[in-house]
Every structure is written in C-alpha cells, then in structure tokens.
A and B are shown apart, each in its own frame.
Chain A
Amino acid sequence: MLHIVNKSAAERSSLESCLRVATKGSAVLLIEDAVYAATNGNAAAAKIQAAAADLKIYALGPDLAARGMAGRVLDGVNVVDYGGFVDLVAEHSNCQSWL
C-alpha cells in the first residue's frame, strides 16, 4: 500500500491516522503541506522518524522547494520528484490518499 498525505500535521490528523494503520513495509508519500512533517525541528519529526523504522517515507521534492524546506529534510526520508511519484504509484498494487 502507498499512503499519500497532503495536509500539515499541525492542522489535520491525517498523518497521524495514516501512521496508525500503515502496515510494515508500506510506503508513505508526503506531498503539499504534509512535507513540513519531514523537516528538522518540526513537532511531527519524531513521529516520522519512529515510523521510518517500519515504513518507507517519501517526500515530494518540488513541494519541499516551494516551501523553502529543501535543505531541512530529515535523515531517512527519501525525496522524490514527480517522476518518482509516478513510479511509487506504479510500484504499489494499491494506494490511499488521505484527505
């Protein structure tokens, strides 16, 4: 399963809900305002780092850059471009967009 989250963890509970049910080996792709959670110093960073032990965590590079966050990505988070986004969708048998 590929989980896609697009809302800031400071505003919505979608990231937390996603991490609660994401099973080992699943992938989580953070896009739009969700990318802040994968940056150094963010209050949600610890949750992402803990989750990275069992899940593959990705963040969309263009969304990081648009927010001035490209240089602040947490260790263990994989940055992908739009092509990588497409690859992730293609590689996984199903995906869930958390709204």
Chain B
Amino acid sequence: MSDMDDMDDGSGIIKKFMFLNRKAPHGTVYALEGLEVVLITAAFDQDVSLVFTDDGVFQLMKGIDTKGIEVKDFSKTYRALEGYDIEKLYVDQASMDARGLTEDDLIVDVTVLSVDEMANLMAEQDVVISF
C-alpha cells in the first residue's frame, strides 16, 4: 500500500449544500449566477437543495419571454436540473402567497414548505450559499 492510499483527499465527502435564491430574475445578475454555481456544484456529487424564497420564487415563473429586453432566458435551465441529479427544489409558502402564486404558475415541480419546514431544512445543512 502506498502512502497515497492512506491519504484522504476529501473526494469522497458528501456535504449538504443549500442554495438559497432570494432575488427576482433579470433585475440583478444574482439569479443567473446562482444557477451557474448550482450546475457547477452538481459536478461534485454533493447533496444539493435548491430553495426559492422572497422574490426568488419569480425565477420559476412559467411564460417568461425575454425577447423584448434582449437578455438570455435561463428559466428553461431549471427544467434541466433533474438531468444533473438536482431534484430537491423547494419554495416557501409565505413567499408564494405574498405574490399571488401557486405551484401551477411554476415551470418545475417543487415542494412547498411552511416556515417551520424551511427552518428545519436550513438548520440541517452543512453549507448554505445565498444568492
């Protein structure tokens, strides 16, 4: 056995990552940049939860048409997350209610969380990254 075999390079460690999205799309670059980081993280086989609260729930709206403002429509990328094994998508019930939205308004299947459920999900993470 070589020394290399005894060394732990950390490659087998899986941590619980939460990406917390709180910004509307387009008005700032946070939503798009956050999505890019999530896709990168997927390459490292981590336990990823993607959470949308506050104006972040607007990122998942159906019917987005960005032709008029001449920016990239990245909303369809959320549908591709499943292919990267990112399947845990959550939205905050209170944020949806404050914006008159229901699950039917969103382009992907999500789990809707109460305040308590959201609090518990956050508390059990190893890493929370906010966009």
Q: Which A positions have Cβ atoms within 8 angstroms of B?
A: 6-8, 10-11, 32-33, 36, 39-43, 45, 61-63, 65-72, 81
Task: Specify which chain B residues have a CB less than 8 angstroms from the CB of A43 in the assembled complex.
Answer: 98-99
Contact with A along B67-87 (1 / 0, CB 8 A): 111010101000000000000
Nearest residue, chain A, Cβ from B99: A42
Contact present for B58 and A66 (CB under 8 Å): no
Q: Which of B19-27, B34-42, B115-123 contacts A (4 or more CB under 8 A)?
A: B19-27
Does A66 lie within 8 Å of B65, measured CB to CB?
yes
Residues on B with C-beta less than 8 A from A36 are 24, 55, 58, 99
Q: Which residue of A lies closest to B105 (CB)?
A: A68
Chain B proximity of A12: nearest CB distance (Å): 10
CB <8 Å contact, A66 and B99: no
The answer on a CB contact under 8 Å between A65 and B98 is no
Interface residues of B in 54-72 (CB under 8 A from A): 54-55, 58, 61-69, 71
Tell me which residues across on chain A come within 8 A of B54, comparing CB atoms: 10-11
Does B14 sit at the interface, judged by CB under 8 A?
Answer: no
Inter-chain contacts of A62 with B (CB < 8 A): 67-69
Annotate B92-131 by CB proximity to A: 1 below 8 A, 0 otherwise: 0000001111000100000000000000000000000000
